[in-house]
Structure 1
Amino acid sequence: MRTYPIPFNEEARLRSLFAAPGLRAENDAVFEVICEATRKLLDCPIAHISVVEDDTQWYKAVVGIELERMPKDNSFCAHTIMSNEPLVVPDLSKDPRFKRHPMVAKGGPEARYYAGVPLVLSSGQRFGSLCGLDLVPHDTPTDQQMAVLADLGKAVVAALEGVPPKPAVQTEDEEAKTTFITLIGHELRTPLTILCGSLQLLEATADSGVNPKLMRGARKSTEQLVRLVEAVIAFSDASTGELRLNERRCELRDLFAEITDLQLPGSDGILKSVSLDESSLAQLILLDPEQIKIALNALALNAINHGGQDIKVGARPDAEGNIELYVTDNGNLGEHVELAKLYEPFVVGGDINHRGTQGGLGLGLPLTRKLVELHGGDFEVRSEPDITSAIIRLPVWRTEIA
């Protein structure tokens, strides 16, 4: 699996990057001068200005080493662009996020020290970083050193955009905002549809024994809606379409606690329930539990709404030690669903703007994919005879953070 996270607002970020007037391969002496200053400031043999695109990273300027365009799997700066804060790693080989990294592990350059600041365009989007590298560990740089590095980063952006250094003025990316709101609007319909179906069944079966379970399912579906709305309000930056993680260590099985006793009617009116796989892994993991719960709930609701009767959730390690969170059911995908389309931005087996809430795989998949990629993970849907699996794969380092 990949070794880097993907920003939630990646499409908008790339549009801003490609529109920046100075971001072209032709170099300018000013950028090499800034890299030389960075190298001296951090006492590093290597410094560069990186440009992080969709699948690759290239360099506006490099001193101390020759570097060609490389895949993002070989990039440290793909991590730096995830926030406006500097990224400093005194010893990459001792950091669970990077110790298996191809630039750190044996057989590669065996990089050890990294200190970089994100480069922020006037649009508010981060396109790359200014950083120093060394093949030996370093002490953590001082606050004054990092403040100077941040100023040098602003000088890079000013030189690229042709304006004096100044705080970034954020401008709205209306297309990103519209797409984000469209996606969220569609996703809100699924729990609301199930809630309405539950209430209708409650009215029809007022004297039967399923009422408590249906009421509990309706409550949990409503809670899912509340969490989704709160996540948008709390973590979404409306000007850039950005979503940020609020990470903490939590027990894997706790992530499933709220969905394993769901009992709700599907779109066919048949009552279905979700159970925890008895072999499910129990382990602590670092993540944003609210965002992962949103993803898992979306997958569980999709299975209830469109899948088979036997729905299970759980966690397991893969062959490389990465953690797989899965939702499986004994149903089959419709022939109209194109699996390849599921992994495209804001697409669920077809254009999201032409999807309803009563068919296919549901509309939680694009949001789930982006939340998982924000965690540095992969999302996959597997279709086999009489079983459909939705799998969230998270990198092994998330289980190794102390």
Structure 2
Amino acid sequence: MSSESPLSTGLESSAVAVAEAGAARAPIPSNEASRLLALQAYDIMDSGQEARYDDIALLASQICRTPMALISLINEDRQWFKSKIGLDGTETPRDLAICAHVILEPDNVFTVADARLDHRFSANPLVTGAPHIRFYAGAPLVSADGHALGALCVIDREPRHLPPDQKDALLALSRQVMALMEERRTSAALRGAMQALTRSEALFREAYENAPIGIALVSPEGEWLRVNQSLCDMLGYAADELTRTTFQAITHPEDLESDLLLVRRMLAREIRTYQMEKRYLHRTGHAVWALLSVSLVWDKLRPLYFISQIQDITERKNIERGKAEFLTMVSHELRTPVTALRGALGILAAGAAGELPPKAQALTALADRNADRLHRLVNDILDIEKIESGAFAYRRTDIDLNQLVTQAAVELRPYADQYHVKIEVRSDLPRAFLHADADRLMQVLANLISNAVKHSPSGGTIDVHVTRTDQSIRVNVTDRGDGIPEEFRRDIFEKFAQANWTATNRKGGSGLGLNISRAIIQHHGGVLAFETEVGVGSTFYFELPIL
């Protein structure tokens, strides 16, 4: 074909030729707008030559015994040839395209036995001139959503008919063209997704490596899978040294069981995340205090890895230790005069100085209550100092937690009666054996139950419930009070945090009881936590490993 044929001339001159010849233009499909969007989604117009498309066009030409075959795509103003056999040029105006008629009937093969005898095409320059089309058959290229995007067509210079077997073959080949186009679109989408993923991974890697806190991926068994530089700096290890060990190996022995209990609960899907303060062992041997926050990534039913965020809080702990040492010093200085004051007030109340007038008795009773409160505060501060220095004594024996809970409830009932609150105890277990310090657990139970009493409404009931999870015994202490405000929840176990909260609702308390209780439970390898809802109440609970 010469370079001046309508297949290679400009679109404007060809359109003028069509108009002058009076050739019929194909109607616009009713779904033209969505059809053009569908075609655009394949991003195939004006793409390069591809052998797979050429092979299909060649096969169509040979099966149908025609000298010419095209894979043609129709956009708003032209038909473009993805592949061509026996023809020059790459496109024609849409007005000239017989394939533009094919897309009007996406369910059928469009055939023209003799274009010279068909009024729609007899004046078409492609019929009256080169390439002298007589016979035409086109199978539509139909997308999965039903849009006809173009045609696989065969062309002859002699009039003829298309036998049924060739028609079926042409339809089958048109489906193969669409399969290639779908593959192209899917591959492009995958490439785009991979590029986006690569960019995202690069951003994550940069954030991960430059994060000011330690970040690590940890296997369900505890191996360090990946660690960032901040964690290496914090613990004194090179990355390859850490990834050859486990978190268990460099966790302080006193903190390990508490951490493992939370890990087991997370693997059992009892909790989604957890946070705790713990000590890691630096490569040189000294302890590094850290705030550990952990979440777990799952693959459906299989745990993949933990994401651990590890913040160095050693400096904060040192500051707290300085404050604690100051408070301890003050408390030691206060203990003797407070003891003497309580003794003197007791003697006065007993009438050693004669019977006091009613007003003096009231003032003495007020002084005695405040002296007693100051005495408890001094003892709490000294307990904190002993816990943090490691001097807090524990005497573990085999105990039945059921008996201990019942004893605590009995001893605290007179206190609850002052608030007109009932204490109810129930257990799901006939025996709840633990190897623990009974006195220290009694201290925890007394703190939790007395707190619940103070925050219960008059006439209310506190439920103390002993139950069991998969690997631990759990004690719940539930009140029906006002619940804990959101702003106090995060720091509820910190020193004096409870005092800040109770100061707003006049419930009293030093704010040290929960901090001491948490330390006692953690020393036993357990967890102390809470659930609360404003206006409904709170449940404080601890879990301890089963004997």
TM, length-normalised to structure 2: 0.33
Larger-Rg structure: 2
Structure number having the greater helix percentage: 2
Larger RCO (CA within 8 A; separation ≥ 6):
1
